[in-house]
Amino acid sequence: MKKSHIIILVVIAAAIGIIVSTAGDASTYVGFDEAIALSTSGNQKEIHVVGELKKDANGHIVGIQEGEDRVSFSFIMIDDKGREQKVIYAEPMPSDFTRSEKVVVIGSYQDDTFRASKILLKCPSKYQEEKINV
């Protein structure tokens, strides 16, 4: 076997290893129901949940509470399947949060609440779309 063949084999093996590990370590987009199921089965891996903020009949957002320390807050989110869930975020409210039409929270369940470690926003107006790192 020539050296170049060995190198090619090693490269292919490494590439496959990378792809497999990517798939293995990837998080998933799920609903809150599945997230609860995952957490009760002892899976503490962080997951992504996509949804919207809860609004009343007039379109006003309800359920946002500022935390005692002023740099955290909680809100009520409805996932794509319509399930409501209180989400706690240990950091200040991201800008444009209340204007967002879609919210992605990354985190996991702790007891009955979903603790987000990161929040991503999608804002409605094409011209107000700047996303801001939080």
Report the interface residues with other proteins, using CB under 8 A.
2-4, 7, 11, 14-15, 18-19, 21-23, 25-30, 45-48, 50, 66-71, 90, 92-98, 104, 106-107, 117-118, 120, 122-123, 125-134
What minimum distance in Å lies between the beta carbon of 82 and other proteins?
A: 17
What minimum distance in Å lies between the beta carbon of 78 and other proteins?
A: 16
What minimum distance in Å lies between the beta carbon of 57 and other proteins?
A: 22
Given the complex with other proteins, which of 71 and 84 has the nearer CB atom? Answer: 71
Residue from 90, 80, 95, 77 nearest 131 by CA: 95
CA distance 49 to 55: 18
Residue 39 tokens, joined: 């957490």
Residue 119 tokens, joined: 């929040």
Residue from 110, 52, 129, 119 nearest 92 by CA: 119
